[in-house]
Amino acid sequence: MTVPIAKLSFWGVRGSTPTVDPATWRYGGNTPCLELIAPDGTQFILDCGTGLRMLGSRWAAPNGGKTAETHILVTHYHWDHIQGIPFFSPLYVENNEFHFYSFRSKFLGRDSLKQVFEAQMAMPYFPVDMSAMSAKRKFKEVDGGDSLKVGENKITAQWLNHPQGCLGFRIETPAGTVAYATDNEPGDAKLDENLRELAAGADIFINDAQFTPEQLETTRKGWGHSSWLEGAKVARQAGAKTLVLFHHDPDSTDRMVDAILRQAREEFDSVFAASEGMVVTLGAPGDRVQAHMPGTRTALRREAQFHAKVRGVTEGGKDFEEETMVRDISLQGALISLKHMPRLQSELQVTMEAPGADGVQTMKLRGYVVRIDAGAEKGHSAVGVVFTD
Ligand SMILES: [Zn+2]
Ligand SMILES: [Zn+2]
């Protein structure tokens, strides 16, 4: 018997507007886009922020089939959730077929999402017109409370509290349930109840965590977003197993998101802060939710010092090469071979020796366990750690 496994990939996790500030590299600057591959091979895309472009450039047609069908759920029409559409290259390939799901906006009327496509690519906003998009596109309207089946999977939509409306989606697959609740603010009894229904018993509950609890009570009240504390509260009330903090504020640096994550982990056992490139598997043996973090991304870190050779071009156009010390560099995480089996999601202290200007220095890092695999060495486990400071 094969175990059903679903794979959830995060292509964009930033709210409101993309960021390219180096202080936001580690969690990533693309706006919302997720991909869920269900055990039956059905491919879902959740939202079409700028992360969609990255997904398109690494496109693998679902099932490798001749007509590749993909189901795209769009939560609402704010820029950060639709801005990747014109840059999604698979839309320009004839054999592809896309089924779009979204609600009828009272501001747009019938075929709201279709109108969004046309408006985004209208002159003088975009150089290429709609006729270049040769993939088949089908549009389906969904309303809060609607349920539908796609393959073996059940999708339920619920209204959330957000200016001009936003849908949350719950996707139940044979490997587990994902609740996607971006862009929502607590404080409306009926819509708060909808959020709990979406998250009820979910294996993964992805929630808006744009603001701090203090901001949410004061300067950002009424802006349509939530906090890590509200997410933890709802996750507990709804019996969700893992909370994913999502839609990070464009002004939140990696270190600020680290701090948010640390606080959230004191309130709820299993929390991740969504980061671009993160892949979560559901239904893997042992029935645990496991996350795999992007390993190549580097981030700023004060303690490390590495001897480096730097090559470049000067302002005057001359090539140069020089030796220097790089003082701000580190990896986001590490894979560590351990005899002991640490608890998933538990905290680890990692002390490393790093070469410095004054000899070898000790580098202390705090992180948490996101993944445990059988190690290459007998009796060892390969433990994936993400550093939080
Ligand atoms: Zn948003
Ligand atoms: Zn929004």
Q: How far is the CA of 150 from the centre of ligand 2 (A)?
A: 26
Report the distance separating Cα 241 and Cα 374, nearest Å.
24
Query: 81 pLDDT exceeds 90?
Result: yes
pLDDT digits (tens, 9 = 90+) for 125-170: 999 988 899 999 999 999 999 999 999 999 999 999 999 999 999 9
Rg (CA), the chain: 22
Tell me the per-residue pLDDT of 352-375, one tens digit each, with 9 for 90 and over.
666 666 776 766 777 777 777 776
CA 211 to ligand 2 center in whole angstroms? 13
Which H helix or E strand runs over 372?
strand 359-374
The pTM of this model reads 0.80
Q: What is the pLDDT of residues 239-292, one digit of tens each?
A: 999 999 999 999 999 989 999 999 999 999 899 999 998 999 998 766 567 777
**Range list of β-strands (E), 13-162:** 33-37, 43-46, 68-73, 96-102, 136-141, 147-150, 153-160
Residue-level pLDDT at 292: 73
Distance of CA 183 to the CA centre of its chain: 13
79 CA to middle of ligand 2, Å? 8
How does pLDDT run across 107-126, given as a tens digit for each residue?
A: 999 999 999 988 999 999 99
Which residues are CB-contacts of 6 (< 8 A; sequence separation ≥ 6)? 36, 37, 38, 39, 173, 175, 176, 178, 281, 282, 283
Say which ligand is closest to the CA of 249: 1
User: Per-residue confidence at 348, pLDDT binned at 50, 70, 90?
Assistant: confident
Eight-state DSSP code of residue 31: P
**pLDDT given at position 304:** 47
Contacts of 263 (CB under 8 A, 6+ apart): 228, 229
Protein residues placing their CB within 5 Å of the ion ligand 1: 15, 80, 183
Output the CA 182–ligand 1 centroid distance in Å.
7
Q: How far is the CA of 63 from the centre of ligand 2 (A)?
A: 32
Beta strands 347-356; 136-141: pairing state:
unpaired
pLDDT at position 331 over 60:
no
DSSP state of 82: H
Nearest to 227 by CA among 241, 209, 203: 209
Please count the other Cβ atoms lying within 10 Å of the Cβ belonging to residue 37.
20
Residue 314: pLDDT over 80: no
Instruction: Indicate the average pLDDT of the chain.
Output: 86
CA of 323 to the centre of ligand 1 (A): 44
